[in-house]
Amino acid sequence: MRIASVEDDEDQAEMIRQILTGIGHVCEGFASGATFMAAARREPYDLVVLDWQLPDMSGLDLLRWVRNELGDLPPVLFVTNRTLEDDMVRAIEAGADDYMVKPVRAGEMGARIQAILRRALPDVTRSEDLIQIGSYSISTRSQTVRIHGDLVSISPREFDLVLFLFRNVGKTLNRETVEKAVWGRQIGRDSRTVDTHLSRLRVKLALRPENGVKLVSVYGKGFRLECVDSNESEVGVVE
């Protein structure tokens, strides 16, 4: 899932980013309401994590903008120092889906976000512990991948990439998005790191239609892992 974090405190923003990427999401950070609004007009987000105190507007005003301009989606999680019941009520009435008081606790934030996504996007969210697609079973708890029940030996970084791909089946992903989610940073325009890892995983995991998936290139945009019929040919796969 693509999640926007609107937080002007650098330490808090980095903590939130680590929590979100740690549970398999892509986190894009914004230090002001205006920068988020500009980005949200261009492309959708699956969820917004929103601070109350922003340098150019209040989080409450930004929440109202989200609901007026974008509608009921994306869901919004307020994360703030404000503990008064009146503040919580105002946020919920303005359209927040949940309200979390700082200091941020990783387990609590992860659980709240997954619960929000289950409610808002019931057909998209999968089990936190196990993903089963085609011949593949990916366990987040044991960090293992099995094909037809057989364990596949992969590195921790490869597992992070596999998990991100399978959590985003059917979505076109560009290399910058994958770099941020799996490596925590942009590696560089000329780097072949992502391509090398994808080619290696395609062989190790036999990402082929007979196993229920294929990895396809999308010209000018990136690549996409697709669920397919076992009889489908491998046209357009990423080599």
Note the pLDDT tens digit of each residue in 16-55. Answer: 999 998 888 889 999 999 999 999 887 778 899 999 999 9
Q: Does 203 map to a domain?
A: yes
CB 60 within 8 A of CB 78: no
Domain CATH code at residue 212: 1.10.10.10
146 has which bridge partners? 137, 151
Q: Does 138 map to a domain?
A: yes
Tokens of residue 1, six digits: 């899932």
**Structural domain boundaries enclosing 190:** 130-227
Share of the chain above pLDDT 90, in %: 54
Biggest CA-to-CA distance, the chain: 59
Question: Among 224, 231, 237, which Cα is nearest to 166's?
Answer: 224
Tokens of residue 66, six digits: 């989200």
- If one compares 118 and 204, the residue with the highest pLDDT of the two is 204
Q: Are residues 208 and 180 in the same domain?
A: yes
| Average pLDDT of the chain, as a whole number | 87
Q: Are residues 6 and 101 in the same domain?
A: yes
Backbone torsions φ then ψ of 122, nearest 5 degrees: -65, -25
Q: Are residues 111 and 134 in the same domain?
A: no
Rounded mean pLDDT, 178-189: 81
Share of the chain above pLDDT 70, in %: 92
Domain boundary among 97, 120, 143: 120
Q: Are residues 110 and 6 in the same domain?
A: yes
Range list of H helices, the chain: 10-22, 33-42, 59-70, 85-94, 106-120, 156-167, 175-178, 193-204
Q: Are residues 98 and 165 in the same domain?
A: no
Domain boundary among 94, 120, 146: 120
Count other C-beta atoms under 10 Å from residue 68's C-beta. 9
Q: Are residues 93 and 136 in the same domain?
A: no
Q: Are residues 180 and 211 in the same domain?
A: yes
Domain CATH code at residue 75: 3.40.50.2300
Rounded mean pLDDT, 193-207: 92
Number of structural domains found in the chain: 2
102 HSE (CA, 13 A, CB side): 17
Does residue 211 have a pLDDT over 60? yes
Name 201's Cβ contacts closer than 8 Å, sequence gap at least 6: 154, 158, 161, 162, 165, 207
Residues 75-132: pLDDT tens digits? 999 999 999 999 999 999 999 999 999 999 999 999 999 899 888 765 444 555 778 8
Strand order in the sheet with 150-152: 130-133, 136-139, 144-147, 150-152
Q: Does 161 map to a domain?
A: yes
